[in-house]
Structure 1
Amino acid sequence: MKKNRRIGISFALTIMMIVLVLAGCGSTAPAPGPGTDASKSNGGADSSGQAAASTLDAIKKRGKLIAGVKFDTKLFGLKDPGSGKVEGFDIDLAKALAKQILGDESKIELKEVTSKTRIPMLNNGDIDIIIATMTITEERKKEVEFTDVYFKAGQSLLVKKGSPIKSVADVKKGVKVLAVKGSTSTTNIRAKSPEATVLEFENYQEAFTALKAGQGDTLTTDNAILYGMVKQDPNYEVVGGTFTDEPYGMAIKKGDTTFASYVNDFLKSLQSNGQYEKLYEQWIGEKPTK
């Protein structure tokens, strides 16, 4: 009887030890305490969508702003193949932002983006902000945080002088329209001229080269970009006025309202101190519309 009791006690102790070992192996990390969001502990976003750490903090810690800009868009962001220098309205705004954050406009890295690559690059953390002739749309608002409007543009048409195309009403069946992949211009022209043939290119320089080579009848995008092409080659002209509103905004990673608010304050300060108007006139050639 005593022997059976000893066996029973030994068996019970063995079971207890197994339970304790299993409990200890269950997790090496403590459970989140009261008020702790589990998603924040792994660098994610909280339930409101606010980024766990602001891009602004990352820029200050890094000591450099990484801006996604165009390299192929005269007046806004165009790279000189000889010098390698990138210049334009968007570029100067990016430099002014770097100076605002870090006290030195040279503390900036300019990374090339296209209409197709800019949002993926932002979401992947390759860039801190998009400053690249990006139209604010409801669809894009689902993917990024937009700042206030910093440039008001409108879609138009570029043709060779003497072309029978004078407006979007002339873009009918048989007309070949050149546009850029991932741009709102492509969507808009298909809606306005559903019978026309739309050919898409990777960037604006490729599209303009194709137009000059006779691969299409007209090129469509925002009028501000088209005016830059006219400056490159005066044999072409912008026609038909504008048939859309294309407000440009800077784009920041979704949920980072802290950095978005900071950039909005930066834009307001540029307008109040006259620097915005100065840059606008320098690149666009006229005073900004109110």
Structure 2
Amino acid sequence: MRRLARAAVLTVVAVLAAGCAPATRPMEAAPVTDAAWPAPAGVGGPDATAGGAIDTSCNPLASLAPTSGLDTPPGSTMAKIKERGKLIAGVDQTTYLFGFRNPKTGKLEGFDIDLVNEIAAALFGTADGHVQFRAITSSQREQVLKDHQVDVVVRTYSITCARRQDVQFSSVYYVAGQKILVPKGSNAESLTDLAGKRVCAAKKSTSLAKIATDPAKPVAVSVPNWSDCLVMLQQGQVEAVSTDDTILAGMAAQDPTVKVAGGAMTPENYGVGVPKDEPDLVRFVNAVLERIRGDGTWARSYQTWVGSRLGPANPPDPQYR
């Protein structure tokens, strides 16, 4: 018993002695330096042939004439889609105003999404429950059509001769113009003012081709999605973003510190992408477009999403071959 008591006393003394011992010298903190912002995944350089903007070997805007109605004859592509029960559409989910996911509802919304729903409604009578959206990047648009992973691509998809070698397009449903997005304190109005500066665009886009081949020699920076460009601009990793005014308007609506600047450098004619071997679906989509141009549906969708930001507009006149 005494041995246990003595051991306890010695333990207490040892603890107290340790508490009175001089404190050891603290370690020096690691030096603090300025850390660079991490770049988004998939950042790359220029691609001068992106989107086929250089190829002028055809009239890219001439599509197949529409069907006389919205029939879906047996054996047609449309009949197969109806049998499946869903229209599969490749779309964007990151471009505000045209194809984006509403954070409150979780649903996809925008001008392009409205068009997908109109095509589905023409097939099924209603779009409700009959659309399967597949979110894709700009660089995936041709491949998902070539692989028949989707029925249509409706994703701010500019019609070009080079792209027509791999896929088919509807008639033009929207005409945009390439401009630049810069911080509000910037005086830049065009790519000429951005010589030697880093300018962001999406991979395989016609906008990237314009940046990469511009005589002023801006430094093209490519990313998978347009939203990555906005992040890089906000963080000072690029001096500007250059793409269609429709996309830039959505960015400016989300961030009051940036502005859309200058005039349009190139026209961008949007079409619905369709697999190369499905001309009947092209004609069907063109019939849908004819209807929405004439009955006010196009105008209502435009006013809902774009009109207040880019001003009044009319649906573009179709061209057929």
> Is 1:71 equivalent to 2:100 in the alignment?
no
Report SS of the residue matched to 2:271: strand
Alignment partner of 1:125 is 2:148: yes
**How does the TM-score come out when normalised to structure 2?**
0.71
Q: Would you say the 8 A contact 1:171–1:193 is kept in 2?
A: no
How far has the Cα of 1:67 moved from its partner?
Answer: 0.7
Whole-Å separation in 1 of the counterparts to 2:176 and 2:235: 27
Is the counterpart of residue 184 in structure 1 residue 184 in structure 2?
Answer: no
Match of 1:248 in 2: 270
Aligned to 1:167: 190
User: In 2, are the aligned partners of 1:130 and 1:250 still within 8 Å (CA)?
Assistant: yes
Distance between the aligned counterparts of 1:132 and 1:184, measured in 2? 13
Q: For residue 154 of structure 1, give the secondary structure of its aligned residue in structure 2.
A: strand
Gaps of 5+ in 1: 1-52
Equivalent-residue separation in structure 1 for 2:215 and 2:186 (angstroms): 18
1:176-221 Cα offsets, whole Å, 9 max, x none, are: 1011111110001112245221111110111111110100000011
The counterpart of 1:202, out of the listed 202, 213, 224, is 224
* Partners of 1:140 and 1:264 in 2: CA distance: 18
SS of the residue 2:220 aligns to: strand
Answer yes or no: is 1:156 the counterpart of 2:179: yes
Percent of residue pairs identical: 36
> 1:54 deviation in Å?
4.1
Partner of 1:287: 312
Provide the secondary structure at the position in 1 that maps to 2:189: coil
Match for residue 97 of structure 1 among 99, 110, 119:
119
Separation in 1, partners of 2:116, 2:265:
29
Deviations 1:71-123 (A, max 9, x none): 01111001134542111000011011111111111111111011111211122
The offset of 1:124, in angstroms, is: 1.4
1:1-290 matched pairs, under 5 angstroms: 54-81=76-103, 83-106=105-128, 107-173=130-196, 175-193=197-215, 195-285=217-307, 286-289=311-314
Higher relative contact order (CA 8 A, sep 6+): 2
Write the distance in 1 (CA, Å) between the matches of 2:235 and 2:104: 23
Give the Cα–Cα distance (whole angstroms) in 2 for the partners of residues 166 and 204 of structure 1: 20
> In structure 2, do the counterparts of structure 1 residues 258 and 111 end up closer, same or farther at CA, with 3 Å as the change threshold?
same
On the 8 A contact 2:194/2:216 being kept in 1, the answer is no
Distance of 1:198 and 1:187 partners within structure 2 = 9
Matched residue of 2:213: which SS?
helix
Q: Which amino acid aligns with 1:109?
A: Q
Aligned length: 237
Aligned-residue RMSD, C-alpha: 1.4
Flag structure 2 segments of 5+ consecutive residues without an equivalent. Answer: 1-74, 317-321
Measured in 2, the distance between the counterparts of 1:111 and 1:181 equals 18
